[in-house]
Structure formats: structure tokens, C-alpha cells
Amino acid sequence: MPLLTIATFLPILAGLALMVLPDRSARIAHRVSIGATGAVFLITLAIWARGISPDGFAQVEEIAWIRAIGAAYRLGLDGLSLPLVLLTSVLFLLSAIYSARIGERAASYVVLMLMLETAALGTFMALDGLLFYVFFEVSLVGMYFMIAGWGYEDRQRAALMFFLYTLLGSLPLLLAIIGLYLGSGTFDMRAWIDAPPLTGIAAMLALIAMLFTFAVKIPAFPVHTWLPAAHVQAPTAGSVILAGVMLKFGTYGLVRFAYLMTPEAFARAGQVILAFGVVSALYGAFAALAQTDLKKMIAYTSVNHMGYVVMGVAVAALASDPRTRTIGLDGATLQMVSHGLVTGALFFLVGMLQDRAHSRGMADFGGLLGRVPWLGWAFVLSAFASLGLPGLAHFPAEFQIFLATLNGMPWGIVAILAIVVTAALYLRAIAAVFLGEANPKWADMPDLDRREKLVVVPLLILTVLVGIAPGWLIDMIHTTMTRIGG
């Protein structure tokens, strides 16, 4: 049974079915959304149960597509893509449950969300360069309309900035893909990885094109400026999908394309790439510290945490020791997953607070922990996870990244300062919003309801599970990274 294909296209087929239903009420639309994303989640569990191979890609599904140019429909999995597929299925299911409150043009909203899930799963599982690019680009359309149609007050400008940045940013990737094709005669990504077709100046130009595209998507300093506006103006579920899933397109591409398909050029540029990772980590932390808007603060911490991922991959390219390379890649991949869990929870919680107060400004609150203990303690736990507290999801990821950095490129360890800054900004946010004197304005604020708990609690459980017992996830990742790093 082609489980990868079923998981990838089930969401968009459900969306198309919704479009032709005679009853497209909000109730029916959200049932379709939850049903489709729930089914995809179960299918991805079955895919996980099938396992991966230490020798390469597993569960490959391949059908001829455009024979004349060597393009085919190819899907497959390894220890880099499978964790991201599982993360995607979890976050889309929880986003669908959270979005059940949306009544305005609910059917259109659901169709866009389901299209985004298909695009995300296809991006992570595609093994054909042309197919990858199609999925990669389709995601831009869905997120643009989600921000523009259901965002907040300045949503039109934020949506346009997001679309222009990411569309123009992705054009260099198309040129790199064409270059890889001309050098090999095929769009099969497995062939590009097994025998990189470009060398010398051609490889360096392809790498530069890839780095620009993926840096915009990550986003890394200085091409990050679209991110805060997009996050602040996006609806809550849109922010969760954007941060938890779509930012990973950039870090996933950094490993799958740049690191594996132009390895010699990547190693030559490794010091520069590492420097951008360090600057992004520090800049994201300090920029977040300067914010008074909770959502914008969390958005900037994404720049910080994705900077760590860039560091891990860069150190892997620079290190001569295979063990250091593997540790760096393990940590970078685990950080992608932990960031999706932790930042997804934080965006959900800030969205729930905004639903109640119609404000995200820290100065507008105070003493909420006694009013809304479920929301308050969930935020505290997620914040502690985001600042890298041992026993929570970010710690094992960041520990491996910094361990590899210290072994491979010790000067990069300066980025550890960002952890101190991140701790300061979250402690300040907790003190301003949830501690201190209670603001009587929020005396009747309701705590999380059953649906909201159903959304947040699974992410908190996974955050703790990955923090205290990460072996089940690291083992999956390590199966592939040992081969790549060795």
C-alpha cells in the first residue's frame, strides 16, 4: 500500500471534496478538516512503524512522470525526513482542532489548510528535484491567502511581504535544480546525493543559490525581516504552521540539498555559514528581548533557534571527525523537531490569550497565573522549554549542537550567550504577564476550555518526553546521520 502517497494527497483530496459538497457550513468544513488531518496522523504512525533503512531511503514510491527530462514522481523517507513528517501530521491535526472556532468563510480556510498539509508532506518526502520544487512553491500560495484572509489588522501588507520575499527567494533554488539536472541528466535527488554532479565554480554557484533560498525560508539574518510581520498578523493556526512546519523547509533544504548535493563547496563555505548561524542565534535572542508584543517576541526566538540548526549543519561540514559531524547533524535535526513542538505550543497559548483579551502587549496584563492557571502554567512550561531548560525538548538538541561546535569549531560557542538572553526575555515575559499584581480588568478571564486543552496538552507531553527520554527520536535520526556524517 503506497502510504506515503496516501498521506501526502489525502488532505488536498479532502479539501476538493469539501468544495463540491452541497453543505459547506462551518460545522461540516471543520469535521472534514479534523477527519482528514486525523487520518493523516494515523497513516504517518503506520509509516513510522514500517521504519527506515540505515542504507538510504526507505518506503520509496516511484512512477514515471516526464520521461523526456528524467523527472519522475518519487517519494521516500529517511531519518531526516521521517521526524519532520511526524511533526507535520501532529501540528496540522492540532491546528485543525484549534481552528474549529473559525466561522467566517470556514470552508475556504479549511481548503487552504489542507492544501498546506499536502505541500508540507510532499516537500519533506519528495525525492525528485522538480517535484520538490512544486511542493515547495505551492506552500507559499496557501500561507499567503491564510494570512491575507484570516489575519489581523495589517494582514494584507504582511501577506504580501511574506509572498514576495519567499517567492523571489525561491527562484535561485530553481536555477540550482536546473544546474544539478544539467550536470546529471536526471532530477532524481538520490543520484544527486550519491554522486554530486557539480564541481568547482559550478558547485559554488549552486550552493550560493541554495543558501539564499533556504536562508530566506529559515529565516536567517539578514533575510529574516518578513518573519515578524507574517507571524504577528497571521491567524494563530497559521503562525503555528509557519513556525512549526514551514520554517523547517529551509533547514531541511540546507541539509538535503546544500550539505549533501554540494558537499565540497559547502565545506569551503562552512566558516561563513557558521558565522551566519552564530549571528542569527545572537541577533534573534537580542531582538526578542527588545519586544513588548508576546507574539513578535516568540517570532524572533525562531530566528534564534533556527540559527542553532544552521550552526549544527555548518560544524558538521567543517569537522574532520565523523563523530563530531554526526553529533552536529543529530542535534540540528532534533532541534527542528523540538522547535516545532515548543514554538507551536507558545503560539497556540498566545493566540488563546489574544482571543480572550484582544491584546498581546505584556504591559496590558499582570497576575494572570491566579486567574487562568492552565494557560499560565502551560506558558511557563513552554517558555522554560524554549530557553533550553534540562529535561525539556530543546536541551538535548542544543546540547548536541554546542558539543559538536566545541569539538569542531570552538569559536562558534560564543552563540551560547543567546541562551542567557533567551532566559532573560522569557522570565521577563512570565513576570509581566502572569506574576505580580493582578489587573482587575481580567478578573473574569476564562481559563482554557476542553478544546484548547486538547490542543496544548499533547504538545506539552511531547516536549517533556523529548526532553527526558529523547532516545526514541534520536535513534531514528541517528540511523541516517551516521551514514551522512561518516
Please give the pLDDT value at position 360.
86
Read off the pTM: 0.94
Please give the pLDDT value at position 172.
94
Q: Count other Cβ atoms within 10 Å, centred on residue 2.
A: 12
Mean pLDDT of the chain: 92
Please give the pLDDT value at position 266.
94
Q: Name the one residue in this structure whose C-alpha cell is 488563546.
A: 352
Per cent of the chain over pLDDT 90 is 69
Kindly tell me if the per-residue pLDDT of 448 is higher than 80: yes
**b vs e for 126-138, b when ≥16 Cβ sit within 10 Å of the residue's Cβ?**
bbbbbbbbebbbb
Kindly tell me if the per-residue pLDDT of 257 is higher than 90: yes
Residues 6 or more apart whose Cβ sits within 8 Å of residue 155: 147, 148, 149, 233, 234
Residue range 20-65, pLDDT digits in tens: 888 778 889 999 999 999 999 999 999 999 988 888 899 999 999 8
Per cent of the chain over pLDDT 70 is 100
- For the chain, what are the domain ranges? 269-486
Kindly tell me if the per-residue pLDDT of 153 is higher than 80: no
Most confident range, picked from 19-23, 67-71, 78-82, 219-223: 78-82
Model confidence at 441, in pLDDT bands (50, 70, 90)?
confident
Please give the pLDDT value at position 404.
93
**Residue 156 three-state SS:** helix
Tell me the three cell numbers of residue 446. 476564562
Positive or negative, the CA dihedral 92, 96, 98, 104 is positive
* Residue 148 near residue 118 (C-beta atoms within 8 A): no
Tell me the three cell numbers of residue 309. 540548526
> Would residue 448 be called left, alpha or beta, if left means φ above 0 and alpha means ψ between -120 and 50 degrees?
beta
Residue range 348-369, pLDDT digits in tens: 999 999 988 888 888 888 889 8
Can you name the residues that pair with 293 across neighbouring β-strands? Answer: 361
Kindly tell me if the per-residue pLDDT of 336 is higher than 90: yes
Kindly tell me if the per-residue pLDDT of 125 is higher than 80: yes
